[in-house]
Amino acid sequence: MRSDEIKRGVKRAPHRALLKALGVTDRDMDKPFIAVVNSFTTVVPGHIHLNRIAEEVKAGVRSAGGVPFEFNTIAVCDGIAMGHEGMRYSLPSREVIADSVEIMVQAHRFDGMVLVTNCDKVTPGMLMAAARLNVPSIVVTGGPMLTGVLDGKRASFASISEAVGKVLAGEMSEGELKRLEDSACPGCGSCSGMFTANTMACITEALGMSLPGCATALAVSALKLRIAKESGERIPELLREDLNPSGIMTAKAFENAIAVDMALGGSTNAVLHLSAIAGEAGTSLPLSLFDEISKRVPHLCNMIPSGPYALEDLDAAGGIPALMKELSPLLHLGTVTVTGKTIEKNIEGAKVLNAEVIRPLANPVHKEGGIAVLRGNLAPKGAVVKSAAVSPEMLVHKGPARIFDSEEEAMKAIVSRKIERGDVVVIRYEGRKGGPGMREMLSPTATISGMGLSESVVLVTDGRFSGATRGPCVGHLSPEAADGGPIAALRNGDVIEINIPKRILRVELKDDEIKNRLRSWKPKPPKVKRGYLVRYSSLL
């Protein structure tokens, strides 16, 4: 065991003395030491209940003959960080989380890990750490929030963001907005739609890194507590079986995860996160692979924000096991999971219990998956759109560019009603380097939608959009403006064409004109000049 390095032999008497100060007994020294990595915080609704879940994990570890040691990571609530300087820190927090787990596990020589997580960057950060460290690991995601109810209708975090646009358009009073604000988020858990947090929970289960049913088990459910305890019980068995993340997070497992994401119509942020996790696992996930899988895996689950169904509906319909059962002709069923069994064995008894929530392959919501990768002279290295959230009328669009060099500039124009039907709103210098931090931009997209413009206005950015976004919103343009990508050469009035079925994103300019404009382009001075973001951007 790795932990023998801190507890065996005469030279390790000082180490044992310190461990005994923690309450570790002589008998415990013969047991595996398990890290329980908890992202509990009282700042994030998705994490406020994780202490209770961690207690069940530790009980499971003890009952299976292990010794649990708990430590915490940071966690950013994207909803609270949205729309201001704080959002610059959201994506970069992923690397801090992965690094902090690595530091603690390597310094203290833990034999295995149970990763207790839930929200947007925390789950991928922990998966990155699991892949990097490659010690037996299992993930317990904290579960989705229940949907809110107002006047007999469902409400969620995305409902509030869009309601702000309605207030600005004069279609809703501030009093009505207040009632929605009081009802939309009824308690603990990750926000109740197929936003990034729940997308990543579902992907984690599809990858095989959490127990079946974990992704959709509600935060408030006893089932979630039982899964937590069973996960704790399972980790010493993973040690005995010598089953590490490298044996689970294989290239075929990543393809399964992408397929499930396409069927769910999940967040475009999954592209960023899966690529980063795969990189830590020594696997490459080119953008072309996402598009290839999108073309053969249909969109089966019409989830909030683009559809009517919440995570509680998906759970009641059979959850990810039932969805993977329906997708089984398109999956690699022989991949191994943290159960020690293959996907095929895990889903053997699964059934789709509601064919409206999990549609059959023969009757999908859309014939193709929920995410499309666009290319063209505006995005030579690709851009990503959540095609499942785009209405048929806006799958093809051509319009004049309205250029903004920050989210704040764009929002000022939107709320001042300076955006007209048919416009293509371009928000640049919001990429990983130019942001810095690649902010999610829910405020512009939700405001556009709330003002009734999502059927006539396209948003394009080298930054990214929230998983709660719906409508024609194209993000992740690469190369980004700060790297001198073509988006930096755009001028107001340039005509931009978006054709999602043909996977095209282009500007109606000749190549020579784009090159001439870029010759006179000069990088903008950095927006942030000190602190973590400077270090983050310098490494890109």
**Which sequence positions are flagged as catalytic?**
466
| Residue in this structure with the two tokens 């459910």, named with its chain if needed | 221
Phi, psi of 195 (to 5 degrees): -85, -170
Largest CA distance in the chain: 76
Residues in the chain: 540
Q: Cβ contacts of residue 177 below 8 Å, gap of 6+?
A: 160, 163, 164, 166, 167
Q: Beta partners for 403?
A: 426
Cα–Cα distance measured from residue 209 to residue 138, given in angstroms and rounded to the nearest whole number: 6
DSSP state of 349: T
DSSP state of 192: S
Inter-axis angle of helices 122-133 and 269-280, to 10 degrees?
A: 20
C-alpha pair distances (Å), 232 with each of 69, 80, 131, 195, 212 = 12, 31, 19, 27, 14
Return the sign of the alpha-carbon dihedral for residues 352, 353, 357, 360.
positive
For 273-308, the DSSP string reads: HHHHHHHHTT----HHHHHHHHHHS-B---BTTTSS
Using alpha carbons, select from 109, 30, 37 the residue that is nearest to residue 65: 30
Inter-axis angle of helices 407-415 and 442-450, to 10 degrees?
A: 20
- Helices vs strands, H then E, count in the chain: 20, 14
Cα–Cα distance measured from residue 450 to residue 454, given in angstroms and rounded to the nearest whole number: 8
